[in-house]
Every structure is written in structure tokens, then in C-alpha cells.
Amino acid sequence: MKNTHIELLAPAGKWEALEKVATAGADAVYLGGKRFNMRLLRSGFNFSDQELGDAVDYLHEQDKRLYITVNNLYYDEEIEELSDYLLFLEELGVDALIIQDSAIIKLHQQLGLTVPLHASVQMGLGSSEAVKFFAGHGISRVILSKNLSLQEIAQIHQETGIDIEYFAHGDLCISHTGQCVMSNIIASESGNRGVCIKPCRWQYTLEGVDGAGNEATYYLAHKDLCLYSHLKALVTAGVSSFKIEGRMREGDFLAFLVKIYRKALDDIIANQEDARPDPEDEKKLQENRVRNFTTANLFGRTRINVVDLSGEREPFFPTRARPLKRLQADDYIESSDIKKDATPIEFTVKVANQDMLTSLKDAGINRFILGYEYPEL
Ligand code: SF4
């Protein structure tokens, strides 16, 4: 089991949190600037360029590391400014960049940067082949998908030998490892641009579903991850960096988590196989939990019990459902309005059942896609 390079990695959204998690025992801190970063919804959070420089000095003086999240997806028009930002971070001497967009791998080469690149959990890496591919393109650490089992993590470690970071504690998305367009569809605020309004944390009613009832329910509210009791198994599987989620959380709460995880990891480093989770600390985590806990996929694929339908511990979040305008007849384009030019346009429609197919057969459609996911077809 010996792994002498176990790291406890804590988040910070503000300077106050940075100081508190460092003092509480984090080996490294990850945070974002005011630009090009997830978690941009709350204006009082994230670090100015000046603060980024101060944070590097502050942590390096204590022999701790600083990783910067540059983990959105970017457009062509942003590449120039993004390049300047990457050069700025290299100049500061940060210890790694946490990235999602593969364009940064290319920019990293073109700009001759040396700062290590870590593949963000947003990349959704969950197989040895995907990890090998990115390792071959300059990624030195992967933050594996939160949707993996212990066995799958161990296999990736055995087959790739790459430095593995894994989330141990905090919020979870209902979507697969954050690959989600729900906020974008509902409110044009994209999770991939750092402004997710978290519609998965709202109540919903279901229409047309047998037995669903009319009661508004938290159908998508995932419980929080807590792997405190399984750290030793994760070390054995090959995880070398344990990450606490929560860049938007206050410093005191983060420091509380860091202290508990610090103690557990120190026990594992010192006592190896003889290390044991502390029942008192498990109790403290339970008593101070935000939502109810889950181990997510660690011991098998998730089922409905990872969602807390009651929403009874769902914290206040300052967004709410927005009424969507029902489309009117005027919103549709008359086919006569579509200009016909010399290039023939082919029209393909995906249908869900036999009735749809029959009703559209004379509608001038060139090609049908049959949706086999619908059992009634
Ligand atoms: S809507 Fe929910 S599941 Fe989707 S990205 Fe936002 S927090 Fe995650």
C-alpha cells in the first residue's frame, strides 16, 4: 500500500478561506481567477490577478502548492486573451493548471509553457485509454471522473501509472461528472462557462408519469459525497491526491473538513494498513453535513438512493425556476418562407413511435431516424 506522496487538496474562493485551509493542514490549494474559470456566479469569490500572485507567495513560503482552475470551455474569440492569461500564470510560478478545454494543451505547447497541466474532472476521464491519450499529450495528473468505482480507479492506476487526484468530499452533480447543459437550456447560463444556476437543486412536478403525483419533489437533488471512511482503500487503489470540493464555501467550514481529512491521511501515512477512520470524526462529519452523504459510485453504479427526494437538507440557493414561454403558432416558420436555392436541402426527422412515422410519411421528409430507445416503437 505504501504511497509516500499523498496530498490533501483544498479549495478556496476567497483569501480568508485560503488562509484557513492552509492553516488547517492542506498540502495544496486550488482556486480560480476572476477570468476563464468555473464558479463565476458569485461576484465576491475568486482571486484578482494581484491576489493570485500573493497566493503563490503565501503558499510557497509554507512549502505548499497552488493549482489554478482554468477549466471552462472557450471560444475562438477568447484564445488571445486566454493565451495572455496562461503566460501570466506561468510567470507567477503556479504549480499547475486545472484544465478542461483541449485547446489549452495546444496553447501550452505553442507558448512554450512549463507549468504542469492537470485534467479537470470536467473532462470526464474514466478509462485507461482516455487517460493514456491525455498523458501522451502532456497531462501530468488526472482528476478522474467522480462516477468511477474503486476497482475502476485501481485499474486505471495499474494501466497508466499516472498521478491520480480524486474527489473525497463535497457536492455532486446529478449529470455524469458535470457534463450537463441543463442550466444552459433553461436559463442560457452554462455550466461549462462557470455560471450554472443549479436547476438540479429545484423541485419539479412530473406530468404524464403514472404514480408520480402532483407534489413538487427534488427529483434531481444528488446527495453529497463523503469518502472519509474509504481513504485507505482509495490510497491502495492508487489515488495520490484527495480533493475537497467547495470553492464557494466559507473558510471555517472548509477548515473543519481539512482538519478531519488531514488527521485521517496522516494516520494512513504513518500507520499504513493499521490506520482506521476515527468514529468521533465520522460523527462530526455527519453532524455538520450540508446534505445527506453518499459514496456515489465507489461500490457500484448509482441508483435512486443517491438522490434525496425530500430535499430537506437542500441549502438555500438564490435561483428559482423560470416560467418558459410556450411556443405559439407565430414562432414556427412557414415552409413557404424557407428560401429554396440551388442546393437541395435534406430534411431528417427522428421519430419516437409508429404513429409519428405514419403521420409524417407524406410531409416531404427525406429521411427518418427511428428512436430505438422508445420501447413502444
Ligand atoms: S445543473 Fe446541476 S447537474 Fe447540471 S452542471 Fe449544474 S449543478 Fe451540475
Q: Indicate if 102 and 30 belong to the same structural domain.
A: yes
Atom 3 of ligand 1, nearest CA residue = 173
Alpha-carbon distance of 265 to 306, in angstroms, equals 26
The x, y and z cell numbers of residue 189, run together, are 447560463
Are 279 and 361 part of one and the same domain? no
Which residue among 72, 195, 196, 314 is best mutated to probe the pocket of ligand 1, counting the most ligand atoms within 8 A of its Cβ?
Answer: 196
| Residue 302 and residue 339 share a domain | no
230 and 165 in a common domain: yes
> 299, exposed or middle or buried, with CB in 10 Å at 0-12, 13-18, 19+?
exposed
For atom 8 of ligand 1, the residue with the nearest CA is: 173
Radius of gyration (Cα) for the chain, nearest Å?
24
What CA–CA distance (Å, rounded) separates 291 from 144?
23
Q: Is residue 143 classed as helix, strand or coil in its secondary structure?
A: strand
How many Å apart are CA 363 and CA 366, to the nearest integer?
Answer: 9
For residue 307, the 8-state DSSP code is B
Domain boundary residue, one of 306, 337, 359: 306
- Spacing of C-alpha 303 from chain mean position: 19
Residue 263, all three cell numbers: 488527521
Are residues 172 and 243 both part of a single domain?
Answer: yes
Q: Per the domain annotation, does 201 fall within a domain? A: no
Q: Clarify whether residues 366 and 233 are in a common domain.
A: no
Residues 54 and 149 in one domain: yes
Asked if residues 227 and 169 have their Cβ atoms less than 8 Å apart, the reply is yes
Residue to mutate, 122, 147, 175, 201, ligand 1, most ligand atoms under 8 Å from C-beta: 175
Tell me the residue range of the domain where 338 lies: 329-370
First CA to last CA distance, the chain? 52
Torsions phi, psi for 106 (to 5 deg)? -65, -45
Low-confidence residues in the chain, pLDDT < 70 = 1-4, 40-41, 322-324, 333-344, 372-377
- How many structural domains does the chain have? 2
Q: What is the CATH number of the domain that holds 271?
A: 3.20.20.380
**What would the grid cell of residue 358 be?**
405514419
Say yes or no: 286 and 349 in one domain.
no
Same domain? 352 vs 292: no
Q: What pLDDT is attached to residue 273?
A: 92
Which residues, judged by CB distance below 6 Å to any ligand atom, belong to the binding site of ligand 1? 173-175, 178, 180, 182-183, 191, 196, 198-200
What is the pTM assigned to this prediction?
0.86
3-state secondary structure 15-50: HHHHHHHHHHCCCEEEEEECCCCCCCCCCCCCECHH
Strand stretches in 51-207, DSSP E:
65-70, 96-99, 117-119, 139-143, 163-170
What's at 32, amino acid-wise? G
- Which of the listed residues 100, 121, 174 should we mutate to test ligand 1's pocket, taking the one with most ligand atoms within 8 A of CB? 174
Q: How far is the CA of 182 from the centre of ligand 1 (A)?
A: 7
Residue 324: the pLDDT is 65
Strands 163-170 and 224-226: antiparallel
C-alpha cell at 86: 496562461
Q: How far apart are CA 316 and CA 293, in angstroms?
A: 18
Summarised one tens digit per residue, pLDDT across range 80-105 is 999 999 999 999 999 999 999 999 99
Determine, yes or no, domain membership for 312.
no
**CA 170 to centroid of ligand 1, rounded, Å:** 14
Residue 111 and residue 229 share a domain: yes
132 found inside a domain: yes
CA of 318 to the centre of ligand 1 (A): 14
Could you tell me if residue 213 is inside a domain?
A: no
Ligand 1 centre distance from Cα of residue 8 (Å): 25
Residue 219 lies inside a defined structural domain of this protein: no
C-beta atoms surrounding 336 within 10 Å: 7
Ligand 1: nearest atom to the Cα of 200: 2
Spacing of C-alpha 201 from chain mean position: 15
Supply the residue whose CA is at minimum distance from atom 1 of ligand 1: 198
* Partner residues linked to 167 by β-bridges: 243
Whether the CB-CB separation of 9 and 26 falls below 8 Å is answered with yes
State how far the Cα of 167 lies from the Cα of 169, in Å rounded to an integer. Answer: 6
pLDDT at 142: 98
Q: Are residues 156 and 263 both part of a single domain?
A: yes
Q: Please report the pLDDT score of residue 272 as a whole number.
A: 92
Structural domain ending residue among the three candidates 306, 341, 357: 306
> H/E element holding 10?
strand 7-11
Ligand 1 probe mutation, 39, 120, 180, most atoms within 8 A of CB: 180
354: in domain = yes
Q: Are residues 297 and 160 in the same domain?
A: yes
